[in-house]
Amino acid sequence: MASNGNADAQSSTWTPSSWQSKPIKQVVAYDDQEKASAALKKLSGLPPMVTPAEIVKLKSSLRDAALGDAFLLQGGDCAELFSYCADDAIDSKIKLLLQMSLVLIWGSNKRVIRIARMAGQYAKPRSSPTENVNGQEIPSFRGDILNGFDPAERKPDPWRLVEAYWHSAATLNYMRAQLSSGIADLHNPMDWGLGHVKDKELQSNYQNIVHSISESLRFMRTIGADTASQLHTVDLFTSHEGLVLDYEHCLTRRLKHPAGYQPAIHSADGKGWYNTSAHFLWIGDRTRQLDGAHVEYFRGIENPIGIKIGPSMQCDELVRLLDIVNPTKEVGKVTLITRYGAEKVESMLGAHIEAVKGSGHVVVWQCDPMHGNTRSTASGIKTREFSSIFSELSSALKIHKQHGSFLGGMHLELTGEAVTECTGGSVELGDEDLSLNYTSYCDPRLNEKQALELAFLVAGHYRNGGL
């Protein structure tokens, strides 16, 4: 898309450090500035984890999602821990995303874009900088990239930024190795297994899909049209919330654009600013202030970006925010991740859809049915009710159809483990069951069975004539 003068003028004032002149939320304060400087210097010298070619490939796919030709599935842990950098934990999440995408492809007849909340989702925003633990007020746990969950490790340590890099790089390296080794080969879809899923109906539905695919592949092989190389692997991109701007700044590099890529804003040197910590980053609902540091940082990077949209977002504010981060109105550059809650989605989503349509921006609409539906039990355990998650996602599908729009994706906090963190679903977990296997150090996640149920919901919507 051609650039305009205003966009060029705005771009010329941006640098990877210009965010430092803006007010910032979720600020990180280190006691030892010399130690912090040394950690940031180390981080700045480490090689990129992702490449411009990969980032541009994702941008192209998200353009398709914005135009209704693909569906975005994004999922993973609420707060990734360094200890999750292990083969079994990584495998379980890869396989779950592959299983869900198989269901979605079957239901929608659309290509599915897979983005993992993995290899970098180590930071979490908190509503309060401190919390009370055993009668003592201590700093809140803000993710392994900043401090430890153990009360004795709550002081922010800048060298955790470097540790986050190494754990992200190791996770990403293993992901790539597994994908190149055939973990996603459609010739052997049953090798993905159903892990902890014991529900007979869910197993039967999934196995019927697999059988249908196997029959199609057998026919293609018989007539000599089996393009094995295209079915051996898939793309799996990485993402995290771009919360710790010191970290993102250090991994933002001016790199040559891939051959054939036409950036929205032309550069004389053929280069652009790429965040090389992940393919996709998003701005949280707590850090999307129009004049804030996070919006300032995000408006200058080539990566596709997400913006969380909560109940406090006003329509005019949303349009102004899009104008700031995407002045050239590049199609699919921005993914709007709506997170209203089951009780508010009906009253808010339609107005936001119409405001964006009127602005001329073409975005990927993605539903996050998790964050607006968090509650605490009588004993103080944080959980989410599956029926509320299901309800918000169902409402989003319906409202988009009513407004001549379409839901382009879903954004879930999930794990491939048989955790008991969200109540309800066909497994019928109650509040009293949460203690059976509640392992999250932050927000509750869907287990494998609950996540697959949501995939079947969306697939069923498309199979029954949804847009």
pLDDT digits (tens, 9 = 90+) for 174-197: 999 999 888 877 666 656 666 666
The residue ranking higher by pLDDT, 214 or 229, is: 214
403 or 219, which is more confident?
403
What's the whole-number mean pLDDT along residues 302-314?
97
Mean pLDDT, rounded, for 136-150: 95
**What pLDDT score was predicted for residue 397?**
94
- At residue 423, the pLDDT reads 96
Band of residue 146 on the pLDDT scale cut at 50, 70, 90: very high
> What confidence category does residue 9 fall into, taking pLDDT thresholds of 50, 70 and 90?
very low
With the CA atoms of 317, 324, 408 and 25 taken in that order, what torsion angle do they form, in degrees rounded to the nearest 10? -70
Specify the range with the lowest mean pLDDT, choosing from 87-91, 222-226, 271-275, 406-410.
222-226
- Report whether pLDDT(227) > 70: no
Asked if residue 400 is part of any domain, the answer here is: yes
- pLDDT, residue 229, reads 52
Annotated binding site: 78, 117, 308, 339, 371, 413, 443
**Mean pLDDT computed over 117-129:** 94
CA pair distance 445, 382, nearest whole angstrom: 10
Least confident of 23-27, 126-130, 256-260, 324-328: 126-130
Q: Assign residue 454 the CATH number of its domain.
A: 3.20.20.70
Does 232 or 244 have the greater pLDDT score?
A: 244
Residue 104 covered by a domain:
yes
Can you give the residue range of the structural domain that contains 306?
A: 33-184+233-464
| pLDDT beyond 60 at 228 | no
Asked if the model's pLDDT at residue 230 lies above 70, the reply is no
pLDDT (tens digit, 9 = 90+) per residue, 434-456?
A: 999 999 988 999 998 899 888 98
CA angle 238, 73, 171 (to 5 degrees): 25
Query: How many domains, the chain?
Result: 1
In a domain, 386, yes or no: yes
* Residue 281 forms part of a structural domain: yes
Name every residue whose Cβ is closer than 8 Å to that of residue 303 and which is 6 or more positions away in sequence. 55, 59, 274, 275, 278, 279, 280, 281
Helix (H, G, I), strand (E, B) or coil at 88: helix
pTM of full prediction above 0.85: yes
214 within a domain of the structure (yes/no): no
Q: pLDDT of 325-343, one tens digit each? A: 999 999 999 999 999 999 9
Q: What is the dihedral of CA 222, 227, 232, 233, to 10 degrees?
A: -140
List residues forming the annotated binding site for Mn(2+): 78, 371, 413, 443
The annotated binding site for phosphoenolpyruvate is made up of: 117, 308, 339
Q: Is residue 459 part of a domain?
A: yes
Six token digits for residue 417: 């483990």
Report pLDDT for 459.
87
What pLDDT, on a 0 to 100 scale, did the predictor assign at position 8?
A: 43
Residue 118 lies in a domain: yes
Could you give the 3-state DSSP secondary structure of residue 291?
coil
Token pair recorded at residue 369:
């049915």
For residue 162, the model assigns a pLDDT of: 98
Mean pLDDT of 66-86: 96
- As a whole-number percent, the residues of the chain with pLDDT over 70 amount to 92
Give the pLDDT band of residue 4 (cuts 50, 70, 90).
very low
How does pLDDT run across 99-109, given as a tens digit for each residue? Answer: 898 889 888 88
pLDDT at position 300: 97
In a domain, 306, yes or no: yes
Mean pLDDT of the chain: 91
Q: What is the pLDDT of residue 107?
A: 86
Is pLDDT of 159 > 90? yes
Q: How confident is residue 226, by pLDDT bands cut at 50, 70 and 90?
A: low
Contact 85, 171 (CB under 8 A): yes
